[in-house]
Amino acid sequence: MTDHLRMMAVHAHPDDESSKGAATMAKYVAEGADVLVATCTGGERGSILNPKLQGDPYIEEHIHEVRAHEMDEARQILGVKQSWLGFVDSGLPEGDPLPPLPEGCFGLQEVDVAAERLVKLIREFRPHVITTYDENGGYPHPDHIMTHRITMAAWEMAGDPEACPDAGAPWTPLKLYYNQTMSRQRTVALHEALTARGLESPYGEWLKRWEDRKPRELTTRVPCADYFGVRDKALLAHATQIDPDGPWFRVPMEVQQEVWPTEDFELVKTRVDTTLPEDDLFAGVTLEG
Domain that holds residue 40: 6-183+217-270
| Residue 224: inside a domain | yes
Tens of pLDDT, residues 164-186: 999 999 999 999 999 999 999 99
- In three-state secondary structure terms, 143 is helix
Indicate the number of domains in the chain: 1
Q: Which long-range contacts (CB under 8 A, 24 or more apart) does 73-77 make?
A: 73/237, 74/14, 74/15, 74/17, 74/18, 74/234, 74/235, 74/237, 74/238, 75/37, 77/230, 77/233, 77/234, 77/237
Please say whether the dihedral angle defined by the alpha carbons of residues 114, 117, 121 and 122, taken in this order, is positive or negative: positive
pLDDT class of 289 with cuts at 50, 70, 90: very low
DSSP 196-215: HTTPPPTTHHHHHHTTTPPP
CATH of the domain at 170: 3.40.50.10320
- Are 281 and 175 contacting, i.e. CB atoms less than 8 angstroms apart? yes
| Residue 115: inside a domain | yes
Percent of the chain with pLDDT over 70: 99
144 is in an annotated binding site: yes
pTM comes to 0.96
DSSP 87-121: EPP-----SSSPPPPPTT-GGGS-HHHHHHHHHHH
**How high is the pLDDT of residue 98?**
85
| Residue 280: inside a domain | no
**How high is the pLDDT of residue 1?**
40
| Residue 112: inside a domain | yes
Sequence-distant (≥ 6) Cβ neighbours of residue 55 within 8 angstroms: none
16 is in an annotated binding site: yes
| Residue 30: inside a domain | yes
What single-letter amino acid sits at 84? Answer: W
Mean pLDDT of 148-176: 97
Question: What distance in Å separates the CA atoms of residue 111 and residue 101, rounded to the nearest whole number?
Answer: 16
| Residue 85: inside a domain | yes
pLDDT class of 247 with cuts at 50, 70, 90: confident
| Residue 139: inside a domain | yes
Question: What distance in Å separates the CA atoms of residue 98 and residue 100, rounded to the nearest whole number?
Answer: 7
Furthest CA-CA distance within the chain: 60
| Residue 38: inside a domain | yes
Tens of pLDDT, residues 196-225: 999 999 999 989 988 888 889 999 999 999
